[in-house]
Each structure stands twice: as structure tokens, then as C-alpha cells.
Amino acid sequence: MSKRDKIKQRVFQIIQIGNNSDIPSRYFDIFIVFVIFINLFVVFFETFDESAPFHTLLFVIEAITIGVFTIEYILRLWTADVAYPDMPKWKAIGKFAFSFYGAVDLLTLLPFYCPFFFPEGAIAFKILRVVRIFRLFQVNSTSDAFNVITEVLKEKSSQLLSSFVMIIILIFGASLTMYGVEHPAQPEAFPNAFSGIWWATSTILTIGYGDVYPVTLAGRFIGMLIGFLGVGLVAIPTAIISAGFVERYTRLREEALSGETKALRYVTSVVGHGHSFVGKKVSELALPPQLRIVVIVRGGNEMGVTPKTVIKQDDVLLLVSSNSEEQKDVKIYEIIIKANHEWNGMRIGDLDISRRDSIIMIMRDDRNIIPDGDTIIKEGDILIMYSQKNDDKRNVLDVH
């Protein structure tokens, strides 16, 4: 890869969204959000009469922010072939230019550079700049907020459609009912059945503009009933969507945890330099009573283990669960800690785990750590755990 290609690759990484570990990229995201809000403030402030004395200053600020947007747009065109490596450069540029966000970027710039083409509606295109912030939420294609909203709406589409149909039926029914009751008393407000739809919609959706309202006793009574029904029906889509969010995030969390859990039949541990086991007898090791060392590999040879066996540096220990009848429910498994794992950065003493679950070892880089309550779990750690739960739902294997 040439130096120019490396520079282009790095620029692409910086202007792309979603890499929190890349500090320049993260700062670039924050800077762009700041510029967008400054630009929007200028757009809104210009609509006030009080902004007249600051017209020149506002124009300069807008020009600077537009300059930033222009540079970003040019950089995205320049790095389009990195985003679409399987396409020729001109096709990659066209792919980005005609994509949704590419079109939004262009439309937000045109009113400033070509005001004569947008004499009246330019401000509508300026507001499109806020859409650019949506990119910042596309950090993870599986669990980002906007993708979750889309997935929930798709999953609950049939239930939502049913609730909307019920609301529409209630609106038309309320319109017909109110027309029959109120038309004789106020024919100008309810001249026909269709005219009651405005009143029914504002009542059922709890808006209540008050421009059309029942005046008869029967009409007011029916209006109260429809209002109560409206509150209940309008709450149904909200409840469906809320339940969908709970289900979705619960499923994502379970998938994340299950994807990081691996069953083990035994655990091997290399005793490195400075390891707390060095120089200790097996009987002196702080191991759970259900876990025992059955083999020590020393110098390429396997040797038996007794309580008086002394652990030496570079020993390879084979640990398995006790095979006594009382411990048949003991299970050993490992958990790989990723960046989004809920335990990342927490003290072991603060973890919400059962008293029957224990972290017996942490494999970090090339070291094996015997943890205590103050040990901090870090990204990349492999936790060796044992459990005595009979009802453990994790996909682990019994160790006998």
C-alpha cells in the first residue's frame, strides 16, 4: 500500500462513525456535532428581528460552518473507494453521492452556494443538517438506537397495524355517533357525518382543540366515553413498542453473554514468573474445594500430585472438578470479556453473581491471575468460573 493510500485509509477511519477507541475519530465526531449545532443556532436566530444588528457576524459563522461541511463532504468523496473497495473509483463516488446521507450532505450545502435556486424554501434544506447527527448513532449495526427502533417496528408491525385499525374504527364510529346526536342542535358544526372526524380525532388523540365540541347532554356524555376509550386505545401502540424494546434489548444482552461463554471440561494454567502459586504446596493453594489439580506437567513430563507437591515456575497445571457424588452439579466454563460486557471495568466484589458462582482464575494476556474482591475485570480477560447450579441455563458441560 502506497503512502497516499495509507493516508486515505487513515482519513476514512477518522471521518467514519463508531470507533470509540480511535481518539482522533471520536474527537472528529464531537467536533462535527458541535459545528452542526452552531450552524442550526444561526439558522434559527436569523428568523428573529433582533438578529438584524448581528447579520454580518451570523453570516461569517454560517460561512465557517459551511466550510467545515464542505471539507468533510469532499473528504467523503475522496475516500469513497475505501468505503466501497469492490467498485471503481468513479462508481464509488457515485455510490456515496447518491446514497441517503450523501444526498443530505449535498442538499445542506446547496442553499448556501446557490441561494438563487432556493429563494423561499432554503431553510427547509438547512434543517436537513440535523439529519447528519443520525450518523453518530450508527455505531453498531445490531444494537444502535435507530436500528433497534426499526427492528422493533418491524417485529411489532402486525400488532401496531391492528391497534391503528382499532383507532380508525373508533374515529369513524365516534364521528357517526356525534353527527347523529349533535347535528340537530348545531348543524353548522356537524353538517355531515364526515365533519365529525376532526372532532373525533382531536378527542381520541387527547388533543382537544376546542373549536368543535358537543353542546347537548347526550353529546357531552358520549364525548366523555369516547375520550376514555381514546386514552386506552392510544396507549396500546405505546405499550406494544415499549414491550418490543424490552424484548429486543433482553435478547441482545442474552446473545452477547451467551456468545462470550464457552464450556470447559478442564482448565490448564501455566505458572509464570511471579505467580502466586510458585513455591507453595498444593494443600496451601487458595482453590475452591470443588476444584483440584490432577496433573502437573513439568519439563514436558506428567507427574502425580499429592498435597505436599510444591508448585514451581513454568509448571502446567491441569485442574478439574471433583468427581465426588456430592459435586455432580459442578460446572466449569470461561467467559470472554468484551468491550460491551457489563462486567468490563468492575470490581469482582461488586459483581451481581450468585454465591454458588465463583471466578477461580483470570487469564489476562500471558498471565494467570488468582482474583480477589478488589480485582478489576478488564476487556480481553478470560474468566475461568465454576458453578454449582443445577438450573444453570448457560450452555456448559458437567465436569466429572
Q: Can you give the pLDDT of all 400 residues of the chain as single tens digits? A: 678 888 888 888 888 765 566 788 888 888 888 888 898 888 788 878 888 899 899 999 989 998 998 999 999 999 998 888 888 888 989 998 898 878 888 887 877 787 766 655 555 566 666 666 655 554 444 445 566 777 888 888 888 898 889 889 888 988 889 888 998 999 888 888 887 888 888 888 877 777 888 899 998 998 899 888 888 888 888 899 888 888 887 776 665 555 555 555 566 777 887 788 888 888 888 776 667 787 788 887 777 677 888 999 888 887 776 544 444 455 667 788 887 787 888 888 888 776 567 787 788 876 767 777 788 898 888 887 766 655 444 433 333 3
In a domain, 397, yes or no: no
Under a CB-based contact definition with an 8 Å cutoff, are residues 175 and 55 in contact? no
Distance CA 73, CA 70 (A): 5
Distance CA 257, CA 265 (A): 20
- Domain of residue 346, residue span: 262-387
263: CB partners within 8 A, 6+ apart: 331, 333, 395, 396, 397
Asked which of 139, 164, 199 is the last residue of a domain, the reply is 139
One domain for residues 276 and 371: yes
Under a CB-based contact definition with an 8 Å cutoff, are residues 66 and 39 in contact? yes
One domain for residues 131 and 245: no
Distance CA 360, CA 318 (A): 14
Amino acid at 143: S
In a domain, 366, yes or no: yes
Q: Which three cell numbers stand for residue 310?
A: 510444591
Prediction pTM value: 0.47
Of 64, 79, 57, the C-alpha closest to 6 is 79
pLDDT of amino acid 140:
42
One domain for residues 332 and 349: yes
In a domain, 145, yes or no: no
One domain for residues 283 and 327: yes
Asked which of 259, 284, 303 is the last residue of a domain, the reply is 259
Per DSSP, 194 falls in state G
One domain for residues 278 and 363: yes
Distance CA 43, CA 60 (A): 12
Domain total of the chain: 3
pLDDT of amino acid 61:
93
One domain for residues 296 and 377: yes
One domain for residues 343 and 297: yes
One domain for residues 74 and 121: yes
Residue 206's CATH number: 1.10.287.70
One domain for residues 266 and 255: no
Under a CB-based contact definition with an 8 Å cutoff, are residues 322 and 291 in contact? yes
In a domain, 399, yes or no: no
One domain for residues 132 and 190: no
